[in-house]
Amino acid sequence: MKWHFAHIRCILFLSGLLTGCSGLCAQPAWQQQIQHLSSPFLSLECPPGASLLVDAEGNIILLSEDYGSIYKYLRIARYDSAVVLGGKGSSEEAFLQATKIAAYNRQQLFVLDGVQSRLLVFNPNLKLLRSIDFLKLQQASDEITQLFPLSFSVNAFGEIFILNQFDNRIYKFNPAGSLELSFGGTDYGEGRLYAPFELHAHTDQRIYVADSMQEGIVVYDRFGLFLQRLVQPPGSWKSFRCFEQYVVYIAPGLIQLQYVPTQQVMQIPLPADSGLRDVYFTKDFIYLLLDQKVEIYQVSP
């Protein structure tokens, strides 16, 4: 483990970022807050990254697929330094292909290594706690034919949901790593999945699964019961997140927020050359991951 030091600076960039919002959703307070944003609160230089998350303490955790590393920028240090974990390799704490990260409350960080087909669990200091080896689980279970994790998410109970690219099903594991149930697939009635590629376990205890063939998101409860289907907004998008009652669609030069109860959509346009890779919402801030920096926008009270 080593320390990486980053230069923090406040900048006036992307002014008027959200003044072009359109397609008003059903939350006037949210719209008013978003429209007050104009320039970044902070700008953090960082290595090339693929995705980010922000934990409950406000620390920024960045997954860089280019370097095979995890960077945890500490809020208590005003994001001036980061703990670095991993690097490409086959050692216990290294990754051959780290593809996604998730945080469980304030306690644990989960990292999916797609090539090694395992899920690594770290404590807040990025010390390895345990590793869930899906190949071993497959060999020990009569319910799993082949398990090749495409994506995963962890809910507030510590339950782990794995999206399996082999059979388009979702496998639910308890916090100890034991299989509890599976759902989805091509023969699951209204909740069928044909080409799923991403999922999120939201704080509302629902599981949101993006299906490219159905051009939308299929929603289940945490026990696999189908609840509803969301029609995706017009245009192409590469990933999505969930925040409060919104699904946040991410595309180059555009963020779209879909209000789940009505499926209405509002748009946040970005400069075409912004290099947007990911976005993360909290009640106080919006974090934009660009090519080699994170822009932090403060939401007005």
Domains of the chain, residue spans: 48-237, 238-300
Residue with tokens 């192409």: 236
CATH number 2.60.120 given to 238-300? no
Query: In percent, how much of the chain has pLDDT > 70?
Result: 84
Residue 180 near residue 170, CB atoms below 8 Å: no
pLDDT of 220: 98
- Whole-angstrom distance, CA of residue 64 vs CA of residue 85: 11
Give the model confidence (pLDDT) of 242-255 as tens digits: 998 999 999 877 88
Assign 241 to helix, strand or coil.
strand
Give the model confidence (pLDDT) of 91-132 as tens digits: 666 787 888 999 877 678 999 988 888 899 999 888 999 888
> Same CATH topology for 48-237 and 238-300?
no
pLDDT band at 145 (very low <50, low <70, confident <90, very high): confident
The single-letter code of the amino acid at 26 is A
Distance between alpha carbon 19 and the CA centroid of its chain, in Å? 26
- Whole-angstrom distance, CA of residue 297 vs CA of residue 37: 7
Give the model confidence (pLDDT) of 215-241 as tens digits: 899 999 999 999 999 998 887 788 899
Integer CA distances (angstroms), 192 to 138, 148, 162, 170, 219, in order: 23, 19, 16, 11, 11
pLDDT of 124: 87
More confident residue, 259 or 15: 259
- Whole-angstrom distance, CA of residue 241 vs CA of residue 220: 15
pLDDT of 240: 93
Residue with tokens 């789940």: 260
pLDDT band at 40 (very low <50, low <70, confident <90, very high): confident
Cβ-proximal residues to 53 (8 Å cutoff; 6+ apart), any chain: 60, 61, 101, 102, 103, 280
Q: Is 158 left (phi over 0), alpha (psi -120 to 50) or beta?
A: left
- Whole-angstrom distance, CA of residue 55 vs CA of residue 9: 22
Distance between alpha carbon 137 and the CA centroid of its chain, in Å? 25
Give the model confidence (pLDDT) of 253-276 as tens digits: 788 999 999 999 988 877 767 788
- 48-237 CATH: 2.120.10.30
pLDDT band at 153 (very low <50, low <70, confident <90, very high): very high
Assign 30 to helix, strand or coil.
helix
pLDDT of 237: 83
